[in-house]
């Protein structure tokens, strides 16, 4: 197996999440390209445009899902693609979330914007293996109601799951918005979930993470039980090209998932 | 210690003590007897690092681009070529003249570090000049706030007196297109695209360089053709702004004769638009940067 | 000990090149590097080469696969990563150590790089002991013996009358057998290892650097660096690469090419965030990678003391001096 050469898959479905984010379902003639663990990554390419690393936001029996925000050339080209477009995928890369560590515990997910994408793979895993986990709670925020990703799951699917609650906030509401208005860290403190028996997984814009971590510390959450993911520019995905190196770690191999304890030991360079 | 070194240190000390500047850029002794390297002094106790010797070839003006929009006051030692670089950067509005304190040093021509390394210390007295200094036409700084040492007369510098600014250019002009292609192909096939020539260049002052934007201008695969395209694009981008400081060629780890190309273009510009040397002052508009009705137009 | 008389060297190389793809250090177009042997090409054996032998296993540009796109269709065709059996003659101990570092990176930690492996597995290496160190050499500070390269297949020692040669690996023994007719008994002794004048004091360095990530010394050390890639491209252990497409000119190809942590685009993310925005972070990365992260991850220095970067850095940002300064400042 040559880890640098992609498998060719096809976009089988495109879901518009927000004005700048779409979820792509990718399938191959033999079903899904591979079976990743929640939190793992894959290289997605339109060979003529480029290749980049994305988290796999969910998977079905016959497809992988990538939720992709428009930020550069490749993502723009992907947004212009239509169902049926063939694309390259290679992976899965990275460590994924520590499932064994999470099993049997209550799970708190704190996401902001497109940061819900990597969390979603784990949330859907917990939902699919409901009996392995305690209570589930999702706290999620976006800039505006239009910027909320995965609306169907947020408002329809997840709230109906046994012992699962979903709390959503937006920075700025609109005339139809009935929910909370405010930033995620403040919302978190207001909801004040107890750290008891909980694993917290958080992902979102760096500035949100920074304040969420401060709030969690205030609320007595322990660094061992806080998990987050890192993003770096990547090229090879297999720990060779050197690009995702932070300290003695390669994020594509040893990450992207780290506990806060581990993160505190890495040089602050992400 | 030579007199200039002493004066450099005294002046640097005074400037820092009186807080006229926050930083002094000069040269210090490098690892070996044949290299002197840029040094940045911001503390009075460090002024004794400063030196002036026959290996201070590095053009310090390039470093002004590091904090090009800062309001820090910087003192900078300038030889002839360095002073032209400063003029260019001021003219291109990359740095503000009023933030600079220029300390001119007339330059007798620097000695070749490459030759020094090969020939050994015993030959110190007979070392050849750096190539860039052989073709140099302005040994005395053109702009400065204070001058250390005596101005040198061009005629006193043996190498320069005998060699013209475009010496050696006729060689490539005399080649047939095929020969010329082979000549550049031979040289550029060993280019490793390290971009030292670009990064050291005071005329390469774009904040976003066309070679950094991915595949849009030139792919990153290193091939003899791609390397030549690199060389040509860069030469065109600095055409008319190149101050002929020769730094690009001096730093090239693969010894590619980059200045042959730059001097050929400078010669063409003279032939097309009349006498011009970049960076002699901050007013004369660069010939390729403005339009005159009498400009040649045979290509139209 | 068996060996090759100086007068017989070209004869020996001729014989080897008749059977294998033979690479020797040579000067071509003004640069010394490993080149395919030919009888007109005198091997350059007086000092180490300007370009390191890494390009034989990890070329500056290497094609990975071809692809075709047509409307919505994408076809990928892998390019076979094969190589003919090759012999590398005259690799210096520092560079042999560096090849060991590249082996760890490209063949270890869970994934094998097939392009690297194809060439590496097909290569027999004849190392050449140094009888003299250049002013920029400091290998003996980095754990390398300038007169011995344990990871090579064969070891060669230059003496007055010729080159003594001994096999270190089984492949090396087979090779000696194969060319036994070209060898003769030489009377000279193995020469003494030279001592490098340039030194770097590395005891306790890793532990000290672990505390120095935020240190102000990096801003000072990096000030004169112009962020060219010279040091990293010439370095025999540097292995960072980029993957890009060649979309013009008929065949569309994905290739990889050397890249450098000295460039600002290296870590620049789509969207504009850059974890290493200035030369302070980039210079720090280069030195910490070699002197702390590599030892932590692979148990060996990322610098083998070959001195190429010291020789060619346009601003003389000398790694031994950097090490000295890192030792001197308080952590
Ligand atoms: S400095 Fe020399 S080797 Fe480096 S890119 Fe320029 S021409 Fe090529
Ligand atoms: S192109 Fe070369 S000679 Fe011209 S200004 Fe730049 S570094 Fe100096
Ligand atoms: S060769 Fe020197 S100037 Fe260039 S990037 Fe390396 S340390 Fe910096
Ligand atoms: S860092 Fe410099 S001295 Fe060390 S191995 Fe690389 S090129 Fe050689
Ligand atoms: S660094 Fe050591 S092994 Fe390498 S060429 Fe110099 S003396 Fe030989
Ligand atoms: S992406 Fe290449 S090492 Fe991580």
C20-52 residue pLDDT tens: 999 999 998 889 999 999 988 889 999 999 999
For CA atoms B222, B225, B231, B236, the dihedral sign is: negative
Number of domains in chain A: 2
Query: Partners for A (CB, 8 Å, 3+ pairs)?
Result: C
* End residue of a domain, out of B161, B186, B203: B161
Number of domains in chain B: 2
Q: Measure in Å the smallest separation between the Cα of C245 and chain A Cα atoms.
A: 7
For CA atoms B175, B177, B182, B184, the dihedral sign is: positive
Say whether the peptide bond before residue C204 is cis (omega within 30 degrees of 0): no
The SS3 call for residue B102 is strand
Ligand 1 atom closest to B190 (CA): 3
Ligand 3 atom closest to C232 (CA): 6
| Predicted pLDDT of residue B113 | 93
Locate C7 and state its tokens.
């007068």
B148 lies in the same domain as B199? no
What's A170-228 look like in SS3? ECCCCCCCCCEECCHHHHHHHHCCCCCCEEEEEECCHHHHHHHHHHHHHCCCCHHHEEE
Across the interface, do C105 and A74 touch by the CB < 8 Å criterion? no
- Nearest-CA residue for atom 6 of ligand 2: B201
Classify residue A269: in a domain, yes or no.
no
Locate B285 and state its tokens.
């508009």
In this predicted complex, what is the ipTM? Answer: 0.91
Among candidates A202, A208, A219, A244, which has minimal Cα distance to A39? A202
Length of chain A: 270
**CA dist., res. C116 & res. C56, Å (int):** 9
**CA dist., res. C82 & res. C103, Å (int):** 17
Locate A81 and state its tokens.
């693609």
B72 lies in the same domain as B217? no
Of C61, C260, C312, the CB nearest to B222: C61
**CA dist., res. A31 & res. A255, Å (int):** 27
Nearest CA in chain C to B257: C30
Among candidates A107, A102, A114, A89, which has minimal Cα distance to A33? A89
Q: Check if B251 contacts C (Cβ < 8 Å).
A: yes
Of A52, A239, A267, the CB nearest to C213: A267
Classify residue A42: in a domain, yes or no.
yes
**CA dist., res. C326 & res. C331, Å (int):** 8
Per-residue pLDDT band for C206 (boundaries 50, 70, 90) equals: very high
Q: Measure in Å the smallest separation between the Cα of C274 and chain A Cα atoms.
A: 8
- The mean per-residue pLDDT over the stretch C188-205 comes to 91
Nearest CA in chain B to C262: B194
- Residues in the ligand 1 pocket, defined by CB under 6 Å: B 191-197, 252-254, 256, 258
> C133 CB under 6 A from ligand 5?
yes
Buried b (16+ CB within 10 A) or exposed e, C187-211: eeeebebbebebebebeebbebbbe
Contact B149, B108 (CB under 8 A): no
DSSP state of A153: I
Classify residue B219: in a domain, yes or no.
yes
* End residue of a domain, out of B141, B161, B181: B161
Contact C225, C280 (CB under 8 A): no
Across the interface, do C244 and B219 touch by the CB < 8 Å criterion? yes
- The mean per-residue pLDDT over the stretch C181-198 comes to 90
A203 lies in the same domain as A161? yes
| Predicted pLDDT of residue C172 | 96
Q: Check if A8 contacts C (Cβ < 8 Å).
A: yes
- Give the CATH number of the domain where residue A61 resides: 2.40.30.10
**CA dist., res. A100 & res. B190, Å (int):** 54
Classify residue A40: in a domain, yes or no.
yes
Across the interface, do B214 and C248 touch by the CB < 8 Å criterion? no
B72 lies in the same domain as B11? yes
The CA A246 to ligand 6 mean position distance, Å, reads 11
Count contacts between B and C (CB, < 8 Å).
103
Q: Measure in Å the smallest separation between the Cα of C178 and chain A Cα atoms.
A: 34
Other Cβ atoms closer than 10 A to A270: 17
Buried b (16+ CB within 10 A) or exposed e, B102-118: bbbbbbbbbbbbebbbe
Classify residue A194: in a domain, yes or no.
yes
Question: Exposed, middle or buried by CB within 10 Å (0-12, 13-18, 19+), for B162?
Answer: exposed
What's chain C look like in SS3? CEEEEHHHHHHHHHHHHHHCEEEEEEEECCEEEEEECCCCCCCCCCCCCCCCCHHHHCCCEEEEEEEEEECCEEEEEECCCCCCCEEEEEECHHHHHHHHHHHHHHHCCCCCCHHHHHHHCCEEEEEECCCCCCCCCCHHHCCCECCECCCCCEEEEECCCEEEEEECCHHHHHHHHHCHHHCEECCCCCCCCCCCCCCCCCCCHHHHHCCCCCCCHHHHHHCCCCCCCHHHHHCCCCCCEEEEEECCCCCEEEEEEECCCCCHHHCCCCCCCCCCCCHHHHHHHHHHHHHHHHHHHHCCCCCCCCCHHHHHCCCCCCHHHHHHHHHHCCC
What residues of chain B lie within 8 A of the CB of C233, using their CB?
Answer: 192, 194
Q: Give the tens place of pLDDT for each residue, C242-255.
A: 998 887 654 688 99
B66 lies in the same domain as B107? yes
pTM score, whole prediction: 0.93
Across the interface, do C243 and A85 touch by the CB < 8 Å criterion? no
DSSP state of A9: E
Among candidates B66, B35, B114, which has minimal Cα distance to C316? B35
Q: Give the tens place of pLDDT for each residue, A100-149.
A: 999 999 999 999 999 999 999 999 999 999 999 999 999 999 999 999 99
**Under 8 Å CB-to-CB from C147, ≥6 apart: which residues?**
C93, C129, C130, C131, C157, C190, C191, C192, C193, C194
CA dihedral B262, B266, B272, B275 (to 10 degrees): 180
Q: Check if A47 contacts C (Cβ < 8 Å).
A: yes
B221 phi-psi bin (left φ>0, alpha ψ -120 to 50, beta other): beta
In the block, tokens 């500070």 appear at C141
- Give the CATH number of the domain where residue A130 resides: 3.40.50.80
Classify residue A82: in a domain, yes or no.
yes
Ligand 3 atom closest to C262 (CA): 5
- DSSP bridge pairs for A55: A41
Contact B92, B9 (CB under 8 A): no
- For residue B196, report the phi and psi dihedrals to the nearest 5 degrees: -60, -40
Among candidates C1, C16, C58, which has minimal Cα distance to C182? C16
pLDDT tens for each residue of chain B, 300 residues long: 689 999 999 999 999 999 999 999 999 999 999 999 999 999 999 999 999 999 999 999 999 998 877 788 999 999 999 999 999 999 999 999 999 999 999 998 999 999 999 888 888 888 999 999 988 888 899 999 999 987 777 656 655 666 788 888 999 999 999 999 999 999 999 999 999 999 999 999 888 888 886 656 788 889 999 999 999 999 999 999 999 999 999 999 999 999 999 999 999 999 988 889 999 999 888 888 877 777 777 665
What residues of chain C lie within 8 A of the CB of A267, using their CB?
Answer: 213, 288
Question: Exposed, middle or buried by CB within 10 Å (0-12, 13-18, 19+), for C28?
Answer: middle
CA atoms within 13 A on the CB side of B28: 15
> C195 CB under 6 A from ligand 3?
no
A76 lies in the same domain as A104? no
- Residues in the ligand 2 pocket, defined by CB under 6 Å: B 200-203, 238, 242-248, 262
Locate C230 and state its tokens.
């010279």
B197 lies in the same domain as B284? yes
The SS3 call for residue A24 is strand
| Predicted pLDDT of residue B10 | 96
B35 lies in the same domain as B155? yes
| Predicted pLDDT of residue B154 | 61
B276 lies in the same domain as B156? no
Contact C324, C201 (CB under 8 A): yes
DSSP state of A159: H
| Predicted pLDDT of residue B160 | 64
Nearest CA in chain B to C255: B221
Q: Measure in Å the smallest separation between the Cα of C274 and chain B Cα atoms.
A: 14
- For residue A149, report the phi and psi dihedrals to the nearest 5 degrees: -90, 160
Among candidates A94, A118, A116, A122, which has minimal Cα distance to A238? A94
A213 lies in the same domain as A116? yes
Among candidates A31, A30, A32, A56, which has minimal Cα distance to A43? A56
A87 lies in the same domain as A131? no
DSSP state of B129: B
Of B32, B66, B187, the CB nearest to C135: B32
Parent domain of A50: 7-93
* End residue of a domain, out of B145, B161, B177: B161
Q: How do beta strands B74-78 and B23-29 pair?
A: parallel
Nearest CA in chain B to C60: B222
| Predicted pLDDT of residue B163 | 73
Give the residue ranges of chain A where pLDDT is below 70.
none
Q: Measure in Å the smallest separation between the Cα of C22 and chain A Cα atoms.
A: 28
CA distances from A46 to A81, A82, C68, C255 (A): 10, 13, 11, 15
Among candidates B115, B105, B152, B110, which has minimal Cα distance to B134? B110
A66 lies in the same domain as A124? no
Across the interface, do C320 and B196 touch by the CB < 8 Å criterion? no
A166 lies in the same domain as A202? yes
**CA dist., res. B8 & res. A70, Å (int):** 55
Parent domain of B253: 169-289
Rg (CA), chain A: 18
- For residue C156, report the phi and psi dihedrals to the nearest 5 degrees: -125, 145
Q: Give the rounded distance of the alpha carbon of C230 from its chain centre.
A: 14
A76 lies in the same domain as A112? no
- Nearest-CA residue for atom 5 of ligand 2: B242
Q: Check if A29 contacts C (Cβ < 8 Å).
A: no
- DSSP bridge pairs for B107: none
A25 lies in the same domain as A52? yes
Q: What angle do CA A158, A164, A167 make, to 5 degrees?
A: 75
The SS3 call for residue B259 is helix
**CA dist., res. A70 & res. A57, Å (int):** 16
**CA dist., res. C208 & res. A45, Å (int):** 42
- DSSP bridge pairs for C125: C88
């Amino acid at each position: 197996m040559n880890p640098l050469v992609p498998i060719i898959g096809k976009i089988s479905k495109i879901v518009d999440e927000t004005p700048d984010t779409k979820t792509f379902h990718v399938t191959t003639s033999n079903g899904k390209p591979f079976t990743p663990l929640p939190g793992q990554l894959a290289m997605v390419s339109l060979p003529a445009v480029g290749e980049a690393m994305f988290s796999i936001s969910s998977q079905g029996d016959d497809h992988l899902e990538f939720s992709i925000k428009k930020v550069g050339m490749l993502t723009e080209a992907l947004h212009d693609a239509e169902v049926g477009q063939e694309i390259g995928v290679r992976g899965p890369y990275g460590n994924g979330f520590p499932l064994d560590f999470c099993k049997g515990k209550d799970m708190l997910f704190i996401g902001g914007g497109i940061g819900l994408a990597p969390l979603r793979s784990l949330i859907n895993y917990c939902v699919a293996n409901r009996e392995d986990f305690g209570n589930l709670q999702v706290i999620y925020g976006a800039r505006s109601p239009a910027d909320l990703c995965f609306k169907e799951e947020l408002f329809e699917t997840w709230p109906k799951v046994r012992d699962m609650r979903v709390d959503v906030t937006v920075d700025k509401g609109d005339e139809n918005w009935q929910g909370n208005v405010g930033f995620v860290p403040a919302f978190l403190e207001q909801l004040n979930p107890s750290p008891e028996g909980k694993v917290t997984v958080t992902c979102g814009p760096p500035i949100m993470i920074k304040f969420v971590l401060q709030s969690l510390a205030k609320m007595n959450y322990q660094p061992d039980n806080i998990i987050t993911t890192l993003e770096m520019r990547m090229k090879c995905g297999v720990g060779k090209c050197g690009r995702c190196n932070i300290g003695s770690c390669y994020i594509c191999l040893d990450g992207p998932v780290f506990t806060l304890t581990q993160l505190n030991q890495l040089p602050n360079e992400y | 210690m030579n007199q200039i070194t002493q004066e450099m240190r005294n002046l640097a000390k005074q400037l820092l003590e009186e807080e006229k500047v926050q930083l002094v850029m000069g040269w210090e002794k490098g690892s070996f007897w044949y290299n002197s390297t840029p040094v940045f002094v911001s503390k009075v106790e460090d002024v004794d690092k400063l030196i002036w010797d026959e290996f201070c070839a590095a053009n310090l003006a390039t470093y002004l681009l590091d904090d090009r929009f800062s309001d820090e006051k910087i003192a900078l030692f300038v030889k002839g070529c360095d002073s032209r670089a400063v003029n260019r950067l001021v003219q291109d509005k990359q740095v503000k003249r009023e933030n600079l304190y220029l300390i001119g040093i007339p330059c007798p021509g620097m000695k070749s570090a490459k030759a020094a390394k090969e020939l050994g210390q015993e030959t110190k007295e007979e070392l050849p000049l750096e190539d860039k200094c052989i073709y140099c036409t302005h040994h005395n700084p053109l702009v400065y706030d204070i001058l250390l040492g005596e101005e040198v007369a061009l005629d006193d510098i043996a190498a320069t007196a005998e060699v013209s600014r475009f010496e050696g250019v006729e060689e490539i002009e005399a080649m047939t297109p095929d020969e010329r292609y082979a000549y550049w192909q031979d040289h550029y096939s060993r280019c490793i695209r390290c971009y030292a020539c670009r990064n050291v260049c005071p005329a390469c002052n774009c904040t976003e360089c066309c070679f950094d934007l991915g595949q849009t201008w030139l792919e990153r695969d290193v091939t003899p053709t791609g390397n030549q395209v690199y060389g040509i694009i860069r030469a065109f981008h600095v055409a008319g702004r190149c101050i002929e400081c020769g730094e690009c060629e001096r730093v090239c780890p693969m010894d590619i004769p980059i200045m042959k190309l730059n001097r050929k273009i400078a010669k063409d510009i003279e032939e097309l638009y009349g006498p011009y040397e970049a960076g002699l002052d901050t007013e004369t508009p660069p010939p390729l940067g403005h339009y005159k009705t009498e400009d040649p137009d045979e290509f139209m | 000990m068996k060996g090759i008389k100086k007068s017989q060297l070209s004869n020996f190389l001729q014989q080897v090149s008749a059977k294998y793809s033979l690479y020797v250090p040579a000067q071509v177009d003004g640069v010394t590097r490993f080149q395919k042997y030919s009888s007109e090409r005198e091997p350059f054996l007086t000092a180490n080469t300007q370009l390191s032998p890494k390009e034989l296993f990890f070329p500056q540009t290497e094609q990975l696969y071809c692809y075709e796109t047509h409307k919505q269709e994408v076809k990928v065709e892998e390019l076979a990563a094969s190589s003919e059996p090759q012999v590398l003659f005259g690799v210096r101990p520092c560079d042999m150590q560096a090849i060991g570092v590249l082996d760890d990176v490209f063949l270890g930690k869970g994934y094998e790089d097939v392009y690297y492996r194809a060439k590496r597995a097909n290569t027999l290496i004849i190392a050449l002991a140094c009888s003299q160190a250049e002013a920029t050499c400091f290998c003996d500070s980095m754990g390398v013996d300038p007169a011995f390269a344990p990871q090579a297949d064969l070891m060669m020692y230059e003496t007055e009358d010729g080159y003594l040669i001994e096999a270190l690996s089984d492949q090396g023994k087979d090779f000696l057998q194969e060319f036994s007719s070209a060898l003769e008994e030489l009377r000279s002794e193995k020469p003494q290892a030279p001592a490098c004048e340039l030194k770097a004091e590395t005891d306790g360095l890793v532990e000290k650097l672990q505390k120095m990530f935020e240190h102000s010394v990096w801003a000072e050390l990096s000030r004169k660096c112009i962020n060219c890639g010279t040091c990293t491209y010439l370095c025999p252990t540097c292995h960072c690469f980029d993957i890009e497409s060649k979309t013009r000119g008929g065949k569309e190809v994905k290739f990889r090419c050397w890249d450098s942590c000295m460039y600002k685009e290296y870590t620049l993310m789509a969207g504009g965030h850059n974890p290493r925005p200035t030369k302070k972070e980039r210079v720090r990365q280069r030195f910490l990678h070699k002197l702390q992260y590599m030892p932590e991850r692979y148990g060996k220095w990322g610098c083998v003391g070959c001195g190429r970067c010291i020789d060619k850095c346009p601003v003389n940002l000398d790694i031994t001096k950097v090490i000295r300064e890192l030792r001197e400042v308080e952590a």
